[in-house]
Structure 1
């Protein structure tokens, strides 16, 4: 029996999905072989463009790309770089983008962030990822629904807006968590620890650092885009980055709110510790006279006063009680002061 090849959610060439735009009113799904044939004849179809989405977990994907497409070296270099912030830059006549996004099963863990790599030309858009991501999945669903996308740059813009929507939902979920913690804090029934808020804050900081587009690269692109990028595409790209900036601003505000809650919880913990230490100090002071007298009378030596007196116990008890009352009065007066 022949074992089937592992495809990691893609075909044998690493292609997750492919769509051809511009041939009809709606995008047409396309497989790897048909895409290869179209690429060889794309000069005959100037009004069409192709989107190919690959899974880099399938090692055949990069091989297929190198055999059938001439992509910028910057794109291949980005595939093997470590985590960096989101950026869109121009390489010759191509747009190369690294879009950091959260996994489809995002659960506010620092490891739930991965990168999507894109090469955008006038007629060909190539995207590649190693793990399933939310923004590109939303884009796939929009294309499946037949949403009109007229150019390759508009496809990129749609992806950035989907990423902004994902960020907005993350901020909304995080805000809901923080609201619950704040309500518990106000009601005096706090069950969360500072470590829980700290972990949430660290995830938000990491998201803000990785998802925020690099402003310098974006500014250069918007000022001097490739000649094939229309003015409308350029304006929509600028607007999509502005929408994303709003989400980042909301995230920064939420981080400050979490910081204030952490400080409030720390103040409550310190207050509780101080109260416990104060009670312990009072008990120690009140017990000091009896401990001193008991220590003196407990020495096994001669000459202990009242040892032969029939009322000695009550006399010593009265002395201890008097000292205890005096010590208690001093503590009470100090507390009032």
Structure 2
């Protein structure tokens, strides 16, 4: 007898793995952050959880249903995911409809690999909900997660401000470490390893340009946000944003000064290499001029014709040596005398 065909079990929509939820927390002013799984977070979205409370969701975009899960259960703008798919990793902070959109970058500077790797973090923030999304693991999110009870966030924008502060600290750290590397190269400038210094400076300059493009916030979007903030954004977070803008400006000025310093060192090294090349070329020219009388005399006396002078003179070789030496001294004097004039 044929067995009845049972319907397929539906895919568990509230599983953390299926939803792509990495971290989910409910923040309340009177209690520590409460960890939520995907089912609990979706239930919190359907029920009011207090005016002074907010949700934080951190999702993994590598999961196929993560984007759909967030859109189905939370009032996140479609423009937020369009921004993610646009593929622009440059840091910026702007207003998107009635929310704040932030694109941050977490840079890992590895001296062993002689490179800088970045992981992009997209953030959508409103008064009662903040959603952060990433493809690759972001270290500053993990650092925040480890210190979450001690940070005591009271509002969603405080999470965004803390992450902005972390990025500003990263940029400052990169500038400080690169400045130390440039100091050591500047000390080795007079050493024989000029070519190695030149390649190292070129690598540092390319890395700083890339980090500046990734970590430096777009000034136009940031100034528009500061002049026309969302209605729900309070004055204190807005003042913090202005403070972060000033701190970013200071670090970016230091970065620009450091890049100018690297450019001047590259020009100095290029000038020294050019001077070495000119000295080598001058030395080769002097050797060629000094060898010219010998070549001319050897060419004349090497001809297989009759009438070669001093052929029967017993002192002919000595006379030719003296003649060649005299021409060589005159040519050398004329060659070495010209640069001094």
| Residue 245 (1) aligns with residue 249 (2) | yes
- 2:105 counterpart SS class: strand
User: Following TM superposition, by how much is the alpha carbon of 1:40 offset from its aligned partner in structure 2, in angstroms?
Assistant: 1.5
Counterpart contact for 1:101–1:116, Cα < 8 Å: yes
User: Following TM superposition, by how much is the alpha carbon of 1:125 offset from its aligned partner in structure 2, in angstroms?
Assistant: 0.4
TM-score by length of 1: 0.89
User: Following TM superposition, by how much is the alpha carbon of 1:58 offset from its aligned partner in structure 2, in angstroms?
Assistant: 2.5
- Rounded to whole Å, the distance in 1 between the matches of 2:33 and 2:254 is 35
- 2:130 counterpart SS class: strand
Query: Gapped runs of 5+ residues in structure 2?
Result: 1-15
Counterpart contact for 2:109–2:174, Cα < 8 Å: no
- Rounded to whole Å, the distance in 2 between the matches of 1:30 and 1:44 is 13
| Residue 138 (1) aligns with residue 143 (2) | yes
User: Following TM superposition, by how much is the alpha carbon of 1:275 offset from its aligned partner in structure 2, in angstroms?
Assistant: 1.0
Counterpart contact for 1:157–1:236, Cα < 8 Å: yes
| Structure-2 residue corresponding to 1:125 | 130
| Residue 49 (1) aligns with residue 46 (2) | no
**Deviation readout 1:156-215 (Å, 9 max, x if unpaired):** 111101100111111111111111101111456546242321221122112212322222
| Residue 162 (1) aligns with residue 162 (2) | no
Runs of 4+ in 1 over 6 A off after TM superposition: none
| Structure-1 residue corresponding to 2:280 | 276
| Structure-1 residue corresponding to 2:154 | 150
| Structure-1 residue corresponding to 2:201 | 197
User: Following TM superposition, by how much is the alpha carbon of 1:278 offset from its aligned partner in structure 2, in angstroms?
Assistant: 1.1
- Rounded to whole Å, the distance in 2 between the matches of 1:104 and 1:335 is 49
- Rounded to whole Å, the distance in 2 between the matches of 1:50 and 1:108 is 39
| Structure-1 residue corresponding to 2:98 | 93
TM-score by length of 2: 0.88
Counterpart contact for 2:109–2:115, Cα < 8 Å: no
- The 3 A distance-change label for structure 1 pair 226 and 108 is farther
The count of residues paired between Structure 1 and Structure 2 equals: 325
- Rounded to whole Å, the distance in 2 between the matches of 1:317 and 1:187 is 43
In structure 1, which of residues 302, 309, 322 is the aligned counterpart of residue 313 of structure 2? 309
| Structure-1 residue corresponding to 2:5 | none
Once the two structures are superposed, the pairs formed by residues 2-81 of structure 1 within 5 Å of their partners are: 11-22=17-28, 24-41=30-47, 43-81=48-86
Moved more, 19-28 or 255-264: 19-28
RMSD: 2.1
- 1:229 counterpart SS class: coil
